[in-house]
Structure 1
Amino acid sequence: GYGGGVIGRYSDVPDKFPQVESFHTLRVNHPAGWFYSTKALKKICDVWEKHGSGLTNMHGSTGDIILLGTTTAHLQPCFNDLTDAGFDLGGSGSALRTPTACIGPARCEWTNIDTLDMVHHLTMEFQDEIHRPRWPYKFKIKISGCPNDCVAAIARADFTIIGTWR
């Protein structure tokens, strides 16, 4: 199931616009460092062609892949297919948003900390808070491997981790 990760949109006049009676958006949790294989992207696109509009936004301000436009009846089947493909929903609404980090040691010579391991650990530790919102506000965690702060953690997060030089 899900609590966060789905942004529900319903038309106020569904009788006049039945094709957009509901137009829900899903946030798909991104891998640490935002690295995707073409095989993984194809899986997401295949699921979205089957259950949604086929429109995506790569990436939202949280780093999640945004899947734009599906009906209420397609939410659970889409969630099931995304899970089968190895993906999970990200955070939305009054919840912990999906933790985000720079590419860190995967491709950057300036990193001072293992941002990929840290963001993976935080995501796994707080998975319930991402899926089942319990807070009256959204909360963002961002990790930068060095003071260059390429993910703008200081400006765009409530909890910031930055690797510094000694």
Structure 2
Amino acid sequence: MQQLQAPTETGYGLGLSVTEAGLWMVPSGLAMVVLSPVNGYLLNRIGGKVVLIAGTVIIAIGYIVRNFLYHSALEVSLSAALVGIGTAFAYAAMPALIMSAVPLAQTASANGLNTVLRQVGTSTSSAVVAAVLSVSFVVIDGGSYPTWSGIVVLDVVAAAVALIAGAIALAIPRHRVLDLS
């Protein structure tokens, strides 16, 4: 979203309004919604482990692609949609993996912990983004904007974290496939 709204003087920004930028981000959200039935099907057919790993790889690809596709709103929207698709896969897989790994009586508390850890991860991610961008910015017309190098660092870190998550997911033992239909 910052790439869409940043002024063109940054060298990467497209100078769009908040409304225009928001509309260009709609496909990313729609991709997540449209993939819900696909995720359910995949979880039933191949299990949460494979879906989670696929999601982390798609997220990593999306973040790497962002470093090359930033010249138009369509390119930014497509790379954001890739990250959204990967996120949809990963977020759908986690509860299924949890439910297949814990006793039935503990699924609610285990999924509650998953929700808390998602919030911790989101908060930590926001703090890392703020820290990186606070030391890598440029001032244009009185406004502070991230430098392109700061954005690239964040994209590479996000891709690396996604791949690390996928590598960790390889260690998940095989459990029963849940029928989520």
TM-score (norm. length: structure 2): 0.27
Name the structure with the higher strand share.
1
Q: Is the radius of gyration larger for structure 1 or structure 2?
A: 2
Name the structure with the higher helix share.
2
